[in-house]
Structure 1
Amino acid sequence: MSDSGARRPIFSQEETTYELKIPHLKRLFKFLIPYKKWLLLTLVFMFVATVADLISPYLLKQAVDIYIPKKNFKGILIIGFLMILMLFINKECSKNKIQLANRTGQMVLFDIRKALFDHIQNLSFSFFDRNSTGRITVRIVNDVNTLNNLFTNGIVNVITDMSTLIIATVIMFSINFKLALVTFSVIPVFLAVLFATRNAIKRNWRQVRRKISNLNAYIHENISGIRVIQAYVRQKVNRSIFKEVIDDVFLSWMKAVKVNGIFAPAIEVCSMIGTLIIYFYGVKLLKINGVTVGTLIAFVSYLDRFWRPVVTLSNFYNQLLVASASSERIFEVLAIEPEIKEDENPVYIEDFKDRIEFKNVWFAYKDKEYVLKDVSFEIKKGTMVALAGVTGSGKTTIANLLARFYDPQMGSILIDGIDLKKISFKSLRRLIGIVQQEPFLFSGSILENILYGRPDAKFEDVVRVCKFLGIHEFISELENGYDTQVSERGTRLSTGQKQLICLARVMLQNPPILILDEATASLDTQSEIMVQNALSKVMKDRTCVVIAHRLSTIKDADLIIVMEKGKIKEMGNHQELIKKRGIYYNLCMSQIKFVKAS
């Protein structure tokens, strides 16, 4: 219990108090504008279906009051034919209404989800630093899904139900004003029940949504961390926590259903009371001023059609509450501006010609907590520059700034004298290739993964790159060669094989500048040798920025920059830095001692 209790705050991050926020709903409904013709056509079908449905009781009244007493068989046949026709029109128009409403709703959801996905794709790395994958996924999937009922059925249904209520009421008052007035005397009773139960229903379903959110969060976390779970044999403990989480869902759901169950019977009771009033008062009117049997039958039918939509309308407010909360979270993401923006008039660079310059660069991931402090250095074309230092010294940050995943708060970074902020994203990404410590492959074939950055490349180009890197043979030996499917993150392959495929993906673009961020750090000895052999071919005659802890990787660099607490402490080649007997020397000695000890 204490274990799960300690974890519960992680799962209770979703908003639990919903308020109806009209501006968000107005903005949400703007997504309907491109489909206004489809929506109008849906409403036409809806109106025709409603009218056809409400004509039937009146036709029945005419049959009972006029044609049946006179035994007018022809009139009865005509009424029967008209009722069948009204039923046919109602069903056909209802079918078309449902199809169009769902089509329009799904297109709106498609547009909202696409807008979210497109926007998130262009957000800066800082956004992903602050938000977990699960939280982002919830915005694109869950929050948009909660709008499904509102857009596919909710809006059209509420208009249908309002139309039914209004038309039925008008017809009932036109048939007999007194009987209608007495019949609707039960409405205050219904409103009292509605206001008494609405808040309780709303509160309980909010709790259900929060518990389901907790459940989704816990499942996502467990699937993501399954290797750690099994490594620490946590299955039994996690199963206990999961049982508590799903128990919470079950109990909150049953409580909500119990409270919600009060409302439907209340509607039935109100409807029954209304029907009894019609019969009781109607029978009196039959004797007093000639209310007909057909009128009573019509009133009962209209009353049934009156109460049917009431439940839907009463639930519509809850739909609006959920939609308001979801739209707030959706628009909250859409309102986030990318911190890294392309210049309005970007410079397109065809090739890297001379040098890279860092000039007095200061950078902080959080305000004023600088991880780089007044960093300045140059990288000449065709040279290999290594970044050395302990973990957290700022090496990877320099690589991220060079790739312009972030912008420095102060100072500037230039390529051939042009500030990175002025260079177009497309040409900058074409100039710079990055091989990261953790290789990432997408679900699909090996060929698709290699072609990821250059999908228009020919298969012959892919084979040429793979042969150059020495990986063509191992790929060809797989069951389907280059068409072999790999699962998410390439779990079918060894880490070394995944890294080589990622390297092939980079090399297919043939970038003049290459960033190697701990590219061999997570590899075993044999895989490291394979990758190092490939890297030695790739790095030849190319400008390279290498981040590595291992001496064997960086000792041949033209320039080694030693970082400590965000500052450059030493610069020079391997021999020069060894002679200084400073930080770099101590790093090398500690590594040599570790190797000897092992």
Structure 2
Amino acid sequence: MKHHSITRLLKLMIPHRKAVILAALSVLLVNGAELMKPIILKIVIDDFLILKKPEVGLYSIKFMGILYMAIVILGSFFTFAQINLMNHVGQQIISGLRKRVFNHIQHLPLSFLDKYSTGRLITRATNDVEALNEMYTDVLINLFRDIFLLIGIVFTMFSMNFSLALISLVALPVIVLVTFYFKGKIKENFKVMKSLIGYINGFVAENISGMKLVQVFNRDLEKLKEFKELNAKYHETTLFQIKMNSLLRPIIEILQTLTIAVLVWYGMGRVMNQTLELGVLYAFTNYVKQFFAPINDMAENYNTVQSAVVSADRIFELLDQNDILEDLDSGLPVDKFRGEVEFKNVWFAYRENEWVLKDVSFKIAPGETVAFVGATGAGKTTIINLISRFYEIQKGEILIDGVNIKEYKLRDLRRNVAVVLQDVFLFSGDIKSNIRLNSNISDEKINEALQLSYSEEFIQELPAGINEPVRERGSTFSAGQRQLLSFARAIAHNPSILVLDEATANIDTKTELLIQKSIENVSSNRTTLIIAHRLSTIRNADKIIMLSKSKILEVGNHDELMKRGGYYKELYEAQYA
């Protein structure tokens, strides 16, 4: 068990300390009521049933009955108060922690997300956070209650009869040994369980995303087999957990029964010899039951605590990735760029020493349309990712308007660089919300963007027009329609630098022509960067940068490169031979 995780979990309760203190006071009052019950019954047995003392004033069986009932009612009231308070505190902590994890994930760089599976991140924000819920709402306050109840019982028993108290606690060392034995096994098993559920979530998410491929290539049986193997491993660890639980409680119950049996055997001998009151023995049997009840509770709650600690370790491990967090709001503020982009001797690798860009240098003037061409893996998309600072370069400099992009406020930098990707992502909602993306863009600007991107025509044919619902990833729209909406979104944000990353790769000829016309409409007053495999789409670019094997091979416009007779000409003629 990592003590720093427990400490951090407890610190999350500090903002709610008033409610926690009230709950703790309620618990102490409930414990006091529980300790009073056997004492009242002892008095009734010894004074009224055995000695048959006369009833005097308040000292009567009737009064004792009323007192016992009052204690039960007050105990129930304070139990309700404690449960209600801790549930409120727990839900507030869980809600805040889930929000914190989600916000943290949003600020992680792509370099981290490339190495961390989606399923594991989903598990952190859902399963792992939820695993803490029961601990806050129930287990922690019950642990507090049980510890103080045990202390109160031990103190009361020793005050009442020293020898009976020693007999009552004879099983305690055995309980400690058994608990420590189970502790290690349960903790390690929970680690495996949490890891497996992360893999299962990732596997399911990946399979759903690639369902079309699974069905096209008839991979359903193979995928089912893989899932069965993962599921079987999780099933085994769950059964082991159940086995541990089913063993621990009976062991404690056996120890309780043996303790009571020894206590009754020893106590009745003394009662018969008239060296012990029957009421004291009866009170002790009640205290032993009360003593083992919190031990049973702690044994049952141990699984919850272990699950919570393992989840907390994983959550805090993620939240502790502070050194790589993207700071969106520090740096040089900028409203608009002129659009000059310069790479100076840039070296970049996703993995150490596996260079994707090697000593790349070029300069793009404001308002220029520049195309990047090259084989897959040449580094075209990487250049786009670096301009938006999704990744940090290892050597060299990237400048916009003569200033290193690291000096700009990251939020402002990305607001001024709009990217239209080959794989369009649309959020659930409607068309308008997908174009606006919660920024301060007026309806007038949205309509203008739809006109410039030639999206207006197909939107007008939709039943709800611009308010047409968008399902997950825009699945109800064609690839061409999604691309037009993506282009409209980029235009609506009025970027200083517009980036088209294979934006026309997977669309029909008609949509491609519409996007070409749209590019001509919007590129006159902004820097436009185009990545394309279809060389026909970049013939009118002011400059074409040819990349090969992580380096710049050729630079020029279409006519210049064709006259030069280099690799670009070979590639162009191969496409249109």
Give, as a single letter, the amino acid of the residue that structure 2 aligns with 1:60. Answer: L
Aligned counterparts of 2:500 and 2:214: Cα–Cα separation in 1: 31
**Alignment of 1:55 onto 2:55:** no
Residue number in structure 2 paired with 1:28 = 9
Most deviating of 259-268 and 396-405: 259-268
Aligned counterparts of 1:203 and 1:24: Cα–Cα separation in 2: 16
CA contact (8 A) 1:515 1:546 kept: yes
Residue number in structure 1 paired with 2:465 = 481
Residue number in structure 2 paired with 1:458 = 442
Where 1:272 maps in the other structure, the secondary structure is helix
**Alignment of 1:583 onto 2:567:** yes
Decide whether aligned partners of structure 1 residues 241 and 559 sit closer, same or farther in structure 2, where only a CA change above 3 A counts.
closer
Residue number in structure 1 paired with 2:558 = 574
Deviations 1:217-256 (A, max 9, x none): 4333322322221111122333334334434443443343
Give, as a single letter, the amino acid of the residue that structure 2 aligns with 1:526. Answer: K
Decide whether aligned partners of structure 1 residues 324 and 195 sit closer, same or farther in structure 2, where only a CA change above 3 A counts.
closer
Total equivalences in the alignment: 573
1:197 to partner: Cα distance: 4.8
Deviations 1:561-595 (A, max 9, x none): 111112111111111100111011011011113xx
Q: Counterparts of 1:88-487 in structure 2 under 5 Å?
A: 88-195=73-180, 197-202=182-187, 208-314=193-299, 318-337=303-322, 339=324, 346-353=331-338, 355-452=340-437, 454=439, 456-487=440-471
CA contact (8 A) 1:351 1:431 kept: yes
Give, as a single letter, the amino acid of the residue that structure 2 aligns with 1:406. Answer: Y
Q: 2:22 aligns with which of 37, 41, 46?
A: 41
Residue number in structure 2 paired with 1:514 = 498
Aligned counterparts of 1:298 and 1:580: Cα–Cα separation in 2: 103
Residue number in structure 2 paired with 1:558 = 542
Q: 2:484 aligns with which of 500, 505, 510?
A: 500
Decide whether aligned partners of structure 1 residues 386 and 209 sit closer, same or farther in structure 2, where only a CA change above 3 A counts.
closer
CA contact (8 A) 1:343 1:423 kept: no
Where 1:185 maps in the other structure, the secondary structure is coil
Aligned counterparts of 1:250 and 1:354: Cα–Cα separation in 2: 57
1:538 to partner: Cα distance: 2.6
Where 2:170 maps in the other structure, the secondary structure is helix
1:204 to partner: Cα distance: 5.1
Decide whether aligned partners of structure 1 residues 563 and 242 sit closer, same or farther in structure 2, where only a CA change above 3 A counts.
closer
Decide whether aligned partners of structure 1 residues 567 and 24 sit closer, same or farther in structure 2, where only a CA change above 3 A counts.
same
Deviations 1:401-432 (A, max 9, x none): 22222232222122222221111223322322
Aligned counterparts of 2:205 and 2:340: Cα–Cα separation in 1: 45
Q: Which consecutive unaligned segments of at least 5 residues does structure 1 have?
A: 1-19, 594-598
Decide whether aligned partners of structure 1 residues 264 and 437 sit closer, same or farther in structure 2, where only a CA change above 3 A counts.
same
Aligned counterparts of 2:259 and 2:454: Cα–Cα separation in 1: 85
Aligned counterparts of 1:150 and 1:72: Cα–Cα separation in 2: 48
Give, as a single letter, the amino acid of the residue that structure 1 aligns with 2:123. Answer: V
Where 1:346 maps in the other structure, the secondary structure is coil
Decide whether aligned partners of structure 1 residues 210 and 572 sit closer, same or farther in structure 2, where only a CA change above 3 A counts.
closer
CA contact (8 A) 2:120 2:198 kept: no
Decide whether aligned partners of structure 1 residues 453 and 388 sit closer, same or farther in structure 2, where only a CA change above 3 A counts.
farther
1:307 to partner: Cα distance: 0.5
Where 1:540 maps in the other structure, the secondary structure is helix
Aligned counterparts of 2:419 and 2:302: Cα–Cα separation in 1: 51
CA contact (8 A) 1:383 1:558 kept: yes
Deviations 1:272-319 (A, max 9, x none): 122222322222221324423322222222111111111232455555
CA contact (8 A) 1:25 1:323 kept: no
Aligned counterparts of 2:195 and 2:442: Cα–Cα separation in 1: 50
**Alignment of 1:524 onto 2:502:** no
Where 2:13 maps in the other structure, the secondary structure is helix
TM-score by length of 1: 0.89
Give, as a single letter, the amino acid of the residue that structure 1 aligns with 2:434. Answer: N
Where 2:169 maps in the other structure, the secondary structure is helix
Decide whether aligned partners of structure 1 residues 215 and 125 sit closer, same or farther in structure 2, where only a CA change above 3 A counts.
closer
Most deviating of 425-434 and 525-534: 525-534
Aligned counterparts of 2:197 and 2:332: Cα–Cα separation in 1: 49
CA contact (8 A) 1:453 1:509 kept: no
1:33 to partner: Cα distance: 2.0
Residue number in structure 2 paired with 1:16 = none
1:169 to partner: Cα distance: 1.6
Residue number in structure 1 paired with 2:518 = 534
Aligned counterparts of 2:320 and 2:182: Cα–Cα separation in 1: 36
Decide whether aligned partners of structure 1 residues 439 and 343 sit closer, same or farther in structure 2, where only a CA change above 3 A counts.
closer
Residue number in structure 2 paired with 1:80 = 65
Where 1:388 maps in the other structure, the secondary structure is strand
CA contact (8 A) 1:516 1:545 kept: yes
Where 2:576 maps in the other structure, the secondary structure is helix
Aligned counterparts of 1:464 and 1:530: Cα–Cα separation in 2: 15
CA contact (8 A) 1:354 1:380 kept: yes
1:344 to partner: Cα distance: 8.7
1:108 to partner: Cα distance: 2.3
Decide whether aligned partners of structure 1 residues 219 and 246 sit closer, same or farther in structure 2, where only a CA change above 3 A counts.
same
Question: Could you tell me the percent identity over the aligned residues?
Answer: 38
Aligned counterparts of 1:342 and 1:26: Cα–Cα separation in 2: 27
Give, as a single letter, the amino acid of the residue that structure 2 aligns with 1:513. Answer: I
Aligned counterparts of 1:239 and 1:136: Cα–Cα separation in 2: 23
Most deviating of 513-522 and 503-512: 503-512
Aligned counterparts of 2:560 and 2:71: Cα–Cα separation in 1: 96
Where 2:147 maps in the other structure, the secondary structure is helix
Give, as a single letter, the amino acid of the residue that structure 1 aligns with 2:424. Answer: P
1:208 to partner: Cα distance: 4.7
CA contact (8 A) 1:443 1:489 kept: yes
1:392 to partner: Cα distance: 1.0
1:520 to partner: Cα distance: 0.8
Where 2:491 maps in the other structure, the secondary structure is helix
**Alignment of 1:64 onto 2:56:** no
CA contact (8 A) 2:139 2:305 kept: no
Aligned counterparts of 2:396 and 2:68: Cα–Cα separation in 1: 81
CA contact (8 A) 1:211 1:252 kept: no
CA contact (8 A) 2:123 2:201 kept: no
